[in-house]
A = this chain, B = another copy of it.
Amino acid sequence: METLTIGELANRAGVGVETIRFYEREGLIAEPKRRPSGYRQYPTEAVRRVRFIRHAKELGFTLKEISELLSLRVDPERTCADVRQRARTKIESIEAKIESLAAMKVALERLAASCNGSGPTSECPILEELDREEDARA
């Protein structure tokens, strides 16, 4: 099976070599096999994992949350109900993110549209869209 050096992995995944070593230290990627020289040997699937980490980070997940996401799987050690439960929780937080983003998008589209209209509009139209929840608090 084809294997990659740390540099090849870093390149394909779009991060630096040092970042790979950092993720390894943090437990986000498994310690790979080594050649006799000590060089790390990665399977090609590792590229996926690193890319996933990168994407998830861009979406506002912390490395801790990402490692929780990555460790979610059907696993004889954990009950089905547990896996379901954890997945549900993550799905909900993802849905909330999607909704906030959709609201921002609407606000920006409204802004772009209002442009052709008349004079200066609201002070900052993007603010108009994003409250709703938690107005109860306070």
Residues of A within 8 A of B (CB): 11-12, 14, 45, 47-49, 51-52, 55-61, 69-70, 72-76, 80, 83-84, 87-88, 90-91, 94-95, 97-98, 100-102, 104-105, 108-109, 111-112, 114-117, 119-127, 130-131, 134, 137-138
- Copy tally for this chain in the complex stands at 2
Q: Evaluate whether A59 and B101 lie within 8 angstroms (CB atoms) in the complex, with A108-B90, A112-B83 already known.
A: yes
B112 with A87: CB separation less than 8 A: yes
| Least Cβ–Cβ distance between A110 and chain B, in angstroms | 9
| Least Cβ–Cβ distance between A112 and chain B, in angstroms | 4
Closest Cβ neighbor of A117 among chain B residues: B74
B131 with A70: CB separation less than 8 A: no
